[in-house]
Structure formats: C-alpha cells, structure tokens
Amino acid sequence: MKYTLNINGQSRTVDVAPDTPILWVLRDELDLVGTKYGCGIGQCGACTIHLNGVPTRACMTPVSTVGRMKVTTIEGLAAEADRLHPVQQAWSELDVAQCGYCQAGQIMTAAALLRDNPKPSDDDIDGAMAGNLCRCGTYMRIRAGIKRAVELNAGGKEATQ
C-alpha cells in the first residue's frame, strides 16, 4: 500500500504493508534511524515520536493509522536544521547520555512535557518520564537535563550549537 506521510514537515510517500509500525517505516524506508527499537510492545519508550505533538510509541502505531497527522522525530525536533531544541541543548551540555540508545526517546518525551508544562515540579518530571527506560541509569541527569532546558527556555535563548 502507498501512504503519503507528513514527516518532520515534509511529505514522504512509502509503499509498505498497512500493519507496518511507523517505527520500521521511519527506520527502514526513510533512513530516519534516530527513533529506536527497544521492546516493540510499548514498554521502553525508545521509539517515542510526536504525532500532532503528542508523544507516541512508534512501535505500536501501524502506518495505516497515521494518515495526515504530523509526525515529528528526533531528527526534526529542532525548529531549524543546524539548531538544537532546548532539550537537546541541555542534554548535550550536561552530557546526559551514557550509551545514548534511549536518549532520543527521552528527549522527545521531555520536549512534549515542557511544551505542556514549562515549569514542571520534580514529581511532574518523574511522572512524565516514567515510560522511558534507561538501562544505563542516567535518570539523575535526565532530571537535571529537564531543569536545564527549563532555564534555557526561560532565557528565551534559542539554542545554537
């Protein structure tokens, strides 16, 4: 089946089976490999993307259900190419990652949290991030990274490098 999708603001057409999770469409068909496979059953959050801005598990989302919804992946999170979203900037500054495999998913979840709740409490942060596993145990830095992103946002400082 042919599907025309709205991926990171671009129109992309793919020819795949209707039950193909959007995760594999992104990775295999569109070469957007930032969205990761960790479990395939909605448990780890490594595959988190935004559908119309809502954090969504790409491994559980068949391509046939996506329609015209806006798909945002880690590659398209920053408003402009060559810039970083404040969450990406904060993650980079604080060296949040260890292996980094979970971090695209963490960043996508954190970005959605901050859009809806620009000044989250500690409990808000833990609550919002509870669906994203980090096997390396970077949770302390994830909390710090979100707080740093809050500062970057408040400063109105559009992140650069």
Per CB under 8 A, contacts with another protein among 48-67 are none
Residue 1 in contact with another protein, rule: CB under 8 A:
no
The single-letter code of the amino acid at 145 is G
Segment near another protein (CB under 8 A); pick from 64-72, 112-120, 135-143, 148-156:
135-143
Per CB under 6 A, contacts with ligand FES among 38-77 are 38-40, 42-47, 57, 59
The single-letter code of the amino acid at 97 is A
Q: For tokens 């904060």, what's the residue?
A: 90
For residue 1, what are its two tokens? 């089946």
Tell me how far, at minimum, the Cβ of 79 lies from ligand FES, in Å: 25
CA distance 72 to 9: 8
Q: Which does 116 bind (CB under 5 to 8 A by kind): another protein, ligand FES, none?
A: none
CA distance 103 to 48: 10
